[in-house]
Structure 1
Amino acid sequence: MREKTFIQSFLKHRLGVIGFIGVALVVLTGIFAPLIAPYQRGYGEAMPLSGPSGENWLGTDAMGLDLFAELVWGARTSMFISATAVVVAMVIGIPFGLISGYFKGKIGSLIDSIIEIAMTIPTLPLMILISALAGASVRIVAVVIGIFSWPTLARIVRNSSLRVSQLQYIEAAKILGVPTFFIMFKHILLNLAGPVLVDLTIIMATAVLTESSLSYLGLGDPNAWSWGVILQNAFKSGHHFQAWWLVIFPSLAIMVYVISFNLLGIGINETLNPKSRD
């Protein structure tokens, strides 16, 4: 019933529905990329740097590759990066946040200090350093983004856990001898679904922006068709002014992706917390 009520309320949130549709389109594009566009469509066949046409909808790049095919496959790469970053952030951030919020005293203070220190670390310079040392790989970039995304998630889980752990049913569970692990991951974590989901949508959006920034600096995987790598290739070739489509369309793809996840997060937040609209 609760799930049905949430869906009904969410469908009334126009911005949230628009964000969901945008996210769904990107996900479906990534899943069905082999059916939508061949991997190297136009290679050796189309003229390099030809503008949008009926044959090549979004034009071609300096190697004659179809830009539409690259963006379609870039959707799959972007989803992989976002999903990997979210999983890594959840594996680290959720346990840290739960332990810090549930176990007060020395243990909670110690973990809270670790979270505070992690949040003060300048992330982009360290990401650049690690990516440069570990090598340009989509998997490595995704894991690095996830590692630097967990502190905000841990802080949200901690603050919410502090509030939920003081409720009467949690105290009753302790008195009845319910195992601590069971209390933390069922009675507390399930009640944090709202703020956690909202933060995960932010991580999904930020992951693509971060990957694009790293790729622009030459630290992306040159063998992967990510939107950031497409942009970096456009600037590296020096044809970004002449062939405007090489910059405009990948930028639009990134913008739609980020805005869609942000709108989805707003919709989830306002559906679960109607007071946040005020």
Structure 2
Amino acid sequence: GAPGDGAAYAAPQAAPAAPARPARPAEAFDCLYAYSAPALVRQVYLLTGRRTLAQESVERAFRQAWAQWPEVATDPDPVGWVRSAAYEYALSPWRRLRRAHRTLGRPDKAPADPNDRILLGALLSLPPAHRRTVLLYDGVGLDLPDTAAETEASTPTTGNRLLRAHADLAARLPGLAGVPPQEQSAVLRAWLGAVRPAVPLEPPPAATVRTLSEHRARRWARAALMLTAVIAAATGYTTVTAPDHYVAPVPAGVSVSGVPPLSGPPRLTETSRALQDRLREHPAAGPRRLHPSLE
């Protein structure tokens, strides 16, 4: 089946069962990574159409999760925690300012199957907020309140986004136009789960992600220590060199280091002398001004 002829794709395979909780933090992280990273890379690929950005977003989200592992480990939904961080990074407007993403601004090679290509193109034509809502509600299978909470929107707003997104997709996908509204989510879930990207989406090993996160944490720690040392050195230098008492200014007419003060009127500059001569020659100056007479 295909989006163009009204038949749905085959239903996606069921997700593997959640692993048992390991004892060591590294083992718990590796289990969470193996359980959710491949699906998250695929989701972010559908969200952006770009493999490099999908892998970078998921890797960055898991590095952040390992750096904050006590918080993530006690979260009721660790997968949702990482998914939210990956989606936020992938859709961040600040990311577009990076040169690497400006040079790779176009989506990756489209899927080979024409039906997958039509579906992915229709999905990428939606506004980012609508695209994320469709992927969470129709693709991941969250209910409307959970979708609203993860997108940081109210439930009515999320419902309106979903309805508008379904209408836009139905206008671009003939196979979805004839499906009743209450069945469109199931059809989209099957179609999205069966998309076959033209590029591989394998995430890096979990150990690599943990190592990069630890290296990044050490670099930040060293930078913080260096900044603290610079501030301490600047504070110590200021304390030593700054005056510790009030020094009154030297008044006029007092000699400084044996140099006699300048006495008498200051020397006139050429401009001052020309102005003085002009004032003396003016008719209103001198005796005529002091003793006016009638002519």
Shorter-normalised TM-score: what interval?
under 0.3
More helix by share: 1
Which TM-score applies when normalising by structure 2?
0.21
